Structure 1
Amino acid sequence: MNPFNKSTGRVVLGGAGWSRQIVTDPTSKPVLQTILHALSLGIRAFDTSPYYDPSEILLGAAFSDPALTSKYPRSDLLLLTKCGRITANDFDYSPAAIRASVRRSLDRFSTTYLDVVFTHDVEFVSREEALGAVKTLFEMRDEGYIKHVGISGYPPAVLADIAVEIRQKLGKPVDVVQTYCHMNIQNTTLQRSLGRFYGDAGVGIVLNASPICMGLLRKGGVPIGELGDFHPAPRGLREAAAKAADWVEGQGENMASLALRYAVGTFASVDEKGLGVTILGGGSIEEITENVETVKKMLKMEDNSVEALDLRDYSLFDEEAYKKDEPLFKGVRDILGEWIDYTWDSPDAAFLEEREKRKNQEK
C-alpha cells in the first residue's frame, strides 16, 4: 500500500527542525504559523517522532489548532510519526511500549488515526524485537489506529533485509520505508536497494530523508542544537564538504540548494515507481519557502498550459533542468572524492559496547 498520490505530492516536511538535536530552543519557534505556510505552498505530508523532542508535541498542538483544522480537513493531510526510540541510547520495541507510543501520538495530534507509523531506527534492535514491533503495528492498522506501517533507519541494505524478513515471516509487507542520508550528492547508495524494497520486500513506497545529509552539505557545516554536535560524519568528510561548499559559493551558487536539487532530481530519476518522495527539512517560514522553490527547479508540471496552484502540481522529473546542473554536481562530487558513498556505522561501536555491558549486568 502506498499513501502518496498526486493530492499529496512528492514532498514531506520533516519535523526534526523543531527538535533539540537541531535547534537550541524549539519552543520559541512559531510552529503553527510555519505549518500553515507550508500548507499554503502545497505540502500535505508531515513526518516527526517522539524522539525529536519536543517536535511531536509542538506539531501535535499545531495540527490540533482551530486555525488549521478549520481550513484543512484531516483527510487532506498525511501525518507520519515513529515509535520505539526513546533517547540516543534507549529503545523499547515491546508490544506494550509500541501501543503506548502510538496512543500518545494520537492524543498529541488529537486524531483518531495516523497515516504512517514507523519503527524508529530499526537497525538498533534485534530482528526478533523488530518483527514483534511491526506485528504490533500491523495489529493497530487492523484496529484502525494506523493507515500504513513502516520501518525507518540509516542503512538501506539492512532495512531491505528486515523488510524482506517481515514479509516472509509475518506474511505481509510493510507499506513504507524511510531511510536517510543515502540519496544525496555525497551518497547515492539507496539506489542499490530499491529493487529489493519494491521486489522481494513488496514495499509500497520508499522515502528519502536528509537530502543535505543532516545539514552536512551546506555552507557552515552541521547544525548544533541543545544536545551538542550529534552528527556522525568524521573530520575528513566534514572538511571535504566544507571545501565543496566554498567551491560552490565561488560558482555563484548555494551548497544547500544545489545539494537539494541533486537529491530531488536524482531520486526522481532512479526511483523505480516514478515517485521519488523526499523529506525536506525546514523549521522556519524562510527555510521552507526556499526549499520548496528549490524542489520546483527539479520538477515540472504535466500540463504547462495551466497555471500551477502549488507544489503538488510539480510532479514530473525535469531532465533538462537536471542536465544544466550536472557540471556543478560533478564539481562537488570530484571534491568529495574518496568520501563519495561513504557511510558510517549504525549502530556505532560505542552503542554496541554499551548494549553488551547492559546485557551482562542483567545476567
Structure 2
Amino acid sequence: MIYLDYQATTPLAPEAREAMLRWLEGPGGSGFGNPHSAHRMGRSASAAVEAARERVAALLPPGGRVVFTSGATEALNTALRGTRGDVLTFATEHAAVLDCARPVEARGRRFTVLPVKRDGRADIGALEDALGSGCGLVAAMAINNEIGTRHPLGEIAKRARKQGVLVLVDAVQAYGRVPLTELDADMIAISAHKIHGPKGIGALWLRDGVEVEPLMFGGGQEAKLRSGTLSPALCAGFGAAAQIAEERMAADCEHIEALWTRARELFAGWTLNGSATERWHGNLNIRREGLDVARLMSDCRNVMFSAGSACASGSGRPSHVLTAIGLSEREAKASIRLGFGRYTKVDEIERAAEDILDAAGGQWP
C-alpha cells in the first residue's frame, strides 16, 4: 500500500515507539506507575511526563505552559468554551472549532463565522469589521487540514491585539513542520499523531497569564485545568516525536519540497485548490472536471488518499472548506487530497499518480 494521507494521521516514528515501550510494561516491570502517585514508581513516571512536556514546549513560543490533553479537539474545545466574550473564527476551520458554536452560544456568547478569500486565506477586512466590544477570542488555523493554505496569522493577531482580544491558533497541521517559536498567540492547540507520535494525546499551550476554565472536573492533575490520569507512555511518545521533528525540521521540509515538485509535475493537468503560494507543500488538494471520486477511490485501493477531511468522511456532503472558497458542489466532489511527508518516497508518488491517472482516464506523463 502507498500511504498519502498525512493530514489525517502520520506513521508512528520508531523513536516515539521506543520511548513509549518502557512505560507500557506490565507485571514485573517498573514503568506502569501512576505519574500522580507519590511513591518511587509514580515519581519516575512523573519525571518522564515532565521531560516530555519540555520537549513538546521547545517547539512553541517561550513564556507559556503546555497542558496535555487527549488531543487537539479537547484542546480547542477547552480554549473556546473556557474563555469569555464573543468568538470570531473562519469558515474553513476544523469541525472541532466550528461545532463549538452551540455550547458557546448556550452561554450567551456570540459565535461568528467569517468568510475567507478564494485562496482560502482569512478575509482581514471582514475580521476588522467584526472586531469590537464584546469580542473575547479569535480562532484561526495556522495551516488548513484540507487544502494546506496558511492563514495570515500575523495580520490576524495584529488586529486582535488592538482590541485586546485573545488569539487561539489551531496549529495541528503546523506544529513540528514549520517554526512556531515566534508565533503571536495566546493559546495554541496541537496533536501528537500529526507529527509521527501516538494517537490519543495532544496539548493546549497557554501564554503566561492566560486563564481558562476547565472543561472536565476531577483531580485537576494538569495545572488544575485538565483532570484525569496522564499516560506516561503517550506523553513520552509525544515528547520523542517532538524532539525528532525539531531535529529533522529542515531535512523534512527539503524532502517534502522534492515530493511536492514531482507531484505537481505528475498532476500538471489538474486544478489546484487553495493558495498556490501561501500553503504547506505536504498537502496537495486538486480537482479534475467530471471526476467521480468515489469510483476513483474504489479503483485505487492500493493508494491511501482522501476526498477531504477524515473527520467528515462518509457524510456525503461536499467539503465545507472547498465550498467556503467558492467551489461548486460539483467541483468540491471532484477534488482529492494527497498528503505526504517524512517517510514518503518519490517512487511512491509516481506509482500512486500512475494508478490515479489510469483510473481517472488521464494521461501518464
**Both proteins in one fold, TM over 0.5:** no
| TM-score, scaled to structure 2 | 0.33
Greater CA radius of gyration, 1 or 2?
Answer: 2
Higher-helix-fraction structure: 1
| TM-score, scaled to structure 1 | 0.33
Greater RCO structure (CA 8 Å; 6+ sep): 2
